[in-house]
Structure 1
Amino acid sequence: MVKILLMLGTLLTGLFADKNEVAVRPENAAAAKQNLYDFKMKSLDGKVVDLSQYKGKKVIILNTASKCGYTPQYADWEKFYEANKAKVVVLGFPSNDFGGQEPGSEEEIGAFCQKNYGVTFPMFAKVVTKGEGQSPLYKWLSTPDLNGWNDKVPTWNFCKYIVNEKGELTHFFASKVKPDSPEFLESLK
């Protein structure tokens, strides 16, 4: 019973802590020490992916989870990716940071995403998005000294970071923002 109450509390915290928060790169942002193209990440199938292959496209980085109230967003982001993949790529980074909602192995995550949502956008190996053991990519995304302006770490699953065609971080969106949200669509202009 205590375990169930703790899980419910964690879930409610995620649903109510996410305030549709948006952060936008200011025009006077400091020069970034790194950009997206400096990173190589491991895919779900264990291959090293050089993120510089996405030069010239906008990139949406999502921290994902298979057992979250926001998990149905996989369908939204897949639909968006299919409609826009010539100019925009969606990258999914599973994380078990929020309520233990991504406990599966890379193989289980891949099977879940394909079976339930038909995900074809690139998915990566599980990462730590905040705190001790934070992945270098998420450290860059959330450290102003590295990215030039942003200090927002994910507040729950399915937070979004937008990177422009030059590899510069331009926006952060909290979990509730979907691909059809006006503020998200504006960020792609």
Structure 2
Amino acid sequence: MTDVFDFSAPTSEGGEQVLADWRGDVLLIVNVASECGFTPQYEGLQALADRYAERGFRVLGFPCNQFGGQEPGGVDEIQACGLKFGVSFPVFAKIEVNGDGAHPLYQHLKAQAPGTLGTQGIKWNFTKFLVGRDGRVIDRFSPQKKPADLAPAIEAALAVPKPQADGGQ
């Protein structure tokens, strides 16, 4: 069965990041935007990343310009916005999260954790997906859900032991 660790994503530097590098960690995957009313959530996301990093928690930001044109800039503008909010977690290259051009990772996330009434489409910037250590999507949170409010779900996901490495060679 496919899990999040089977995907890769384009980095802001022009390379490709294999998500399997974070196998065994708990991930919070968020579509972000620099000019959105929810952009101050960057601070809360960074606070979560700092609070839980030593326990194997990672935040991954995916810029997207599909909602109100709120991520119009290029890599430099996107990175500058992250710096403004003190972001040190990875912010990838701009992708699409909906439609025919949706990145395969987001196609997978939406299929694994549909939104309200079973709809798969991302409704707005700062939709959040919590992914367990096994690479399976645990839950999907709306943009209105503040990062600090995710702490109980993150704590529960971190309480699950890391999967043992496959002993077969």
| Alignment pair present for 1:64 and 2:67 | no
What residue identity is the alignment partner of 2:77? E
User: Counterparts of 1:79 and 1:170 in 2: how far apart (Å)?
Assistant: 21
After TM superposition, the score normalised by the length of structure 2 is 0.84
Corresponding position of 1:152 = 120
Runs (5+) with no aligned partner, structure 1: 1-32
Corresponding position of 1:169 = 137
| Alignment pair present for 1:92 and 2:61 | yes
Question: What is the aligned-residue RMSD (CA, Å)?
Answer: 1.3
Q: Give 1 or 2 for the bigger CA radius of gyration.
A: 1
Alpha-carbon contact 1:65-1:95 (below 8 Å) kept: yes
Corresponding position of 1:80 = 48
| Alignment pair present for 1:113 and 2:79 | no
**Equivalent residue in structure 1 for 2:106, among 132, 135, 138:** 138
- 1:140 Cα deviation from its structure 2 partner: 0.5
| Alignment pair present for 1:102 and 2:68 | no
Corresponding position of 1:186 = 152
Runs (5+) with no aligned partner, structure 2: 157-169
User: Counterparts of 1:132 and 1:100 in 2: how far apart (Å)?
Assistant: 18
- 1:179 Cα deviation from its structure 2 partner: 2.2
Identity of aligned residues (%): 35
User: Counterparts of 2:143 and 2:39 in 1: how far apart (Å)?
Assistant: 10
The DSSP-based 3-state class of the residue aligned with 2:42 is helix
Alpha-carbon contact 1:152-1:172 (below 8 Å) kept: no
User: Counterparts of 2:52 and 2:8 in 1: how far apart (Å)?
Assistant: 23
Corresponding position of 1:42 = 10
Runs of 4+ in structure 1 over 6 Å off? none
Alpha-carbon contact 1:45-1:107 (below 8 Å) kept: no
